A and B are shown apart, each in its own frame.
Chain A
């Protein structure tokens, strides 16, 4: 329970870094959740983050799973609230303002400029993530197969991830 204020601080801070999606915040999440607060081991964080990719709705609701592990249901609620509400209020405020900035020339510059940075941060997060998630030939094969299937087919990604679970059950024990 004494972790609740820390949960609120950590996830409110991480939410501000999610430009373009949750992966951008992953390297910072690793530092705070693993090294600073020791709430999880690194493999646990990788597991929970991956399971979150299957969830419907916002794929970063895995913050509630971390909150639950640290401080039960109150932890889950505080983590979700801290992660989604402050940025939500920011979006609400800017949403009203943005329409009025339609003719502001820098509006397009901000959008075009942040696009590549968002991609770079996501790829950087993915590299941090993949270094632990993909080790050994079985996991390399699973990652490559899912990559190819996503590029070439319209299969639901949740099914591909479940496929990964099956392969893991058979080949990674």
Chain B
């Protein structure tokens, strides 16, 4: 638990949030956030309703969550749980977030095995796949529009797409090569104002 003391900001004068309360909130989000957009649910619960995190803290955690491998839903559960009650908090937040989906998607496996090859079910699933394509395209179009501010952003987006779909490189190869070049292109220049810039960027993604 000493990690909590080191990472939590001095603003937490209120008594620490209880472990069952953390589990309860994340279980509720894990069970109700149908259709994605988990970040919006998290913000409303953690910042607006419970006031466990400030808006700035939430954005800090979001920026880190986006940089690390793993989904936002689970990375944010871990980072927020850790901020609130250390490793135990992170563990129960993660379990709460994942448990409902784990049960549902395992059941989906059974259902798919039993019914998935019926013509009606296949037809419905083809419709679902087409709708999912439109949904994912819209999500990334919106993120892309907010991220592209100049030549380099557009260039590295295109480089990653061409690397996978035209040059048929594997994902780790593109991630390491294009990722390294892109980080170098955005290397530190003016010391001092990177914190402000970073926040403006994260805010623009919300």
Contacts and interface: CB of A to CB of B under 8 A. Distances in A.
Given A57-B31, A105-B194, A116 B157 contact: yes
B191 A55 contact: no
A84 B187 contact: no
B45 interface: no
Interface string A74-118: 001100100010011011101110110010011111111111111
A47 B64 contact: no
A21 B153 CA distance: 18
A123 B160 CA distance: 9
A53 B105 contact: no
Interface residues of A, number: 111
A99 B7 contact: yes
B85 to A, nearest CB: 12
Contacts of B152: 116
A47 B104 contact: no
Most B CB contacts (10 A, CB to CB) among A80, A150, A171 go to A150
Interface residues of B, number: 109
B194 A49 contact: no
Given A64-B106, A65-B108, A90 B131 contact: no
A117 B161 contact: no
Contacts of B184: 109, 113
A44 B185 CA distance: 40
A114 B70 CA distance: 14
A73 B171 contact: no
Given A56-B33, A124-B165, A173-B120, A109 B183 contact: yes
A102 B170 contact: no
B102 A76 contact: yes
Say whether chain B's binding surface is mostly helix, strand, loop, or mixed.
helix
A128 B137 contact: no
Most A CB contacts (10 A, CB to CB) among B64, B144, B187 go to B64
B15 interface: no
Contacts of A151: 138, 141-142
B198 A107 contact: yes
B105 A52 contact: yes
A57 B30 contact: yes
A58 interface: yes
Contact of B87 (A50, A76, A92, A167): A92
B97 A55 contact: no
Nearest to A102: B195
B105 A64 contact: yes
B134 interface: yes
Given A113-B184, A122-B140, A123-B144, 11 more contacts: A58-B73, A87-B68, A88-B70, A110-B183, A124-B164, A124-B165, A133-B130, A164-B130, A167-B127, A168-B123, A169-B127
26 contacts: A17-B69, A19-B175, A25-B171, A47-B112, A50-B128, A56-B100, A56-B101, A58-B101, A65-B108, A67-B109, A90-B70, A95-B83, A102-B195, A113-B186, A115-B201, A116-B152, A120-B163, A121-B175, A124-B160, A126-B133, A133-B133, A134-B130, A143-B131, A145-B134, A157-B135, A169-B127
Interface of B: 3, 6-7, 29-38, 61, 63-75, 78-79, 82-83, 87, 90, 94, 97-98, 100-102, 104-106, 108-110, 112-113, 116, 119-120, 122-144, 147-148, 152-161, 163-165, 170-172, 174-175, 178-179, 182-188, 191, 194-195, 197-198, 201-202
